[in-house]
Every structure is written in structure tokens, then in C-alpha cells.
Amino acid sequence: MTDERNLKPSNIPTKETIVLRTKLLPQDIMEVLDKKKTSFFGSALRRPKPDEITVENPLLYLEQYIFILGHYEIDFNRNASYMIKVDPDVVEVAIGTEKFPILNESGVWKKFGKKMKQGVGITKQDLKLDVVENAVKSMTDSMYFDHNGLEATFAYSTNSDAVENYAQRALDVNKEHVRKTKMTDDEIISKLFHKLKESLKHDLIINHEEYVVTEFREIFVPIYETKCYDEKNKIVVARVDAITGKII
């Protein structure tokens, strides 16, 4: 398995759209920033006074996260070696209908490698058998991506009480302030596929493989964003989680 091709999923569910409910109002965000705004400027030794900092009215943005969950199953052949202990008086080993002779006159195995262990009291020999194994593996994994297309963690609840009842309406109302990834669905699906198979060795002969996407969601998280200025017109962009009130 040395190629970097993409396996097309045998199933892709319709992508579900979720918008998390905004819990804080702009005035709540202003209260948060009033307490923290001086920490954006100066140093630990010298902070500006609160009245020296100007904070613009915060704007609400809906930032997209992508969640994808999938399952990959592969039936494949791989090369492997087995070491078998044999007595020193063995001259031939039969496996099934095949017979494997002991060392020939030149001291080399005809089909398999064999070596004598040296040392006092060691009477066994190692017979190395090179074989082809048939194996099956099943893997399930998931990924989150943020609106920049970077793999991310996601710590929000998506229970019914945490989401908007009408997701598309919320997106339409904030359509000027929606941030979405530039990745296509195919690129996202491909990234999960490569993550699922990355633990496999590359010297495999694939007999059969199947890739299934079981969940596919876009989740929009509300974030307030605003600009803060000091008296020297230094600008700091402040971002505040509209659900928790934490400064990001």
C-alpha cells in the first residue's frame, strides 16, 4: 500500500448544521472587557488606567467548526517472519505438503534462513519462516476542524438546550459575520481517511477496503470581537466567548 490515493466513502450522511445559542449580550461583554482591558496594554510593571482605554461596541461572529466521524475496514496481506525452535538433529521440516531441508553443502538454506545458536548448553536451533499473513483491521476515529481549517479541540455541548432551534435563520441574521473554512467537504473527508489508515504499514497488499462516514456536522460557535485602543492608538483585538464569557 504505497499510493496516496483517496478512497471514496461508500456512505456520506447529509451534513448537519448546528448553531450554538448565544448566552451573553453585548453589554455583558462590555462588562467583561471593562475588568480586563488594562491587561491588554503596557507591562506587568506599568498598566494604563481604565479611562485611558477605549473599547468599541463588540460585534457577534459565528465561527464554524467541522466535525467528522468515520469507520475504515481493510482486508490485506502482509509479509511476516516466524521463528520456530527445532532440535539440532532435525534434517528436514515439513509444513503441509511442502518440505524444507536443513542446510545444504554450502551452508545456506534453500528457501528459508536458519542459524545455529552458539553457547554452552544451547541445543535448539532457530528456523526462520518468511510467510504472508492475511489480516483484517477495523478503525473508527473522528476529527474537528476550526474555521481556519486547522485541526482543533471542541469543548462545547451540543445538547438541544444549547443550540438554536432554527439554525439557518440564525445564520441568515448574521450572514455578514459568518466565518467558514475554505476546505471543501472532499478535503475534510480525505483528511479523516488518511488519519484512519496512518497506523498501517505501507507494504501491504489490499484485498478489500471500505470507508464510511457516519457523522458529518458543521457547528457554529458565537464569538464577540471588538477593538480596544490606548492613548497611543495601539490597537488590540479582543475576542470573548459569547457562551462562557471567557476572553479567548
Report DSSP letters for 118-161, one per residue.
PSTT---EEEEEEEEEEEEEEEEEEEEE-TTS-B-------SGG
pLDDT at 117: 44
pLDDT tens-digit series, residues 206-233: 999 999 999 999 999 999 999 999 998 9
pTM of the entire predicted model: 0.81
What's the CA gap between 97 and 116, in Å, rounded?
25
Indicate the range of 49-63, 107-121, 141-155 predicted with least confidence: 107-121
Quickly count: other Cβ atoms within 10 Å of residue 230's Cβ. 18
Which cell numbers hold the place of 208? 478489500
- pLDDT tier at 53, thresholds 50, 70, 90: very high
Q: If you average pLDDT over residues 54-72, what whole number do you get? A: 97
pLDDT of residue 88: 78
Tell me the pairing of strands 16-19 and 98-101: unpaired
pLDDT score of 42: 80
- Residue 115 has a pLDDT of 47
Residue 154: closest CA among 167, 164, 142: 142
In sequence order, what are the beta bridge partners of 136? 75
Question: What's the CA dihedral at 174, 179, 181, 184 to 10 degrees?
Answer: 30
- Band (pLDDT 50/70/90 cuts) for residue 178 is very high
Nearest to 134 by CA among 200, 207, 198: 207
The mean of the pLDDT values for the chain is: 88
Burial of 243 (0-12, 13-18, 19+ CB in 10 A): middle
Q: Who contacts 13 (Cβ-Cβ below 8 Å, separation ≥6)?
A: 213, 214, 215, 216
Q: What was the pLDDT predicted at 5?
A: 66
92-120 as b/e: b if 16+ CB within 10 A: ebeeeeeeeebeeeeeeeeebebeeeeee
Q: In this structure, what is the dihedral angle of CA atoms 233, 234, 240, 245, given to the nearest 10 degrees?
A: -80
Res 108: pLDDT: 46
The pLDDT score that the predictor gives to residue 121 is: 47
Average pLDDT over residues 48-75: 96
99 membership: H or E segment, kind and range: strand 98-101
Q: What is the pLDDT of residues 17-48, one digit of tens each?
A: 999 999 999 999 999 999 999 999 987 778 89
Indicate if the pLDDT at residue 170 is higher than 90: yes
* pLDDT tens per residue, range 66-123: 999 999 999 999 998 887 888 878 878 888 887 776 554 344 444 444 444 444 444 6
* Distance between CA atoms of residues 205 and 247, nearest Å: 51
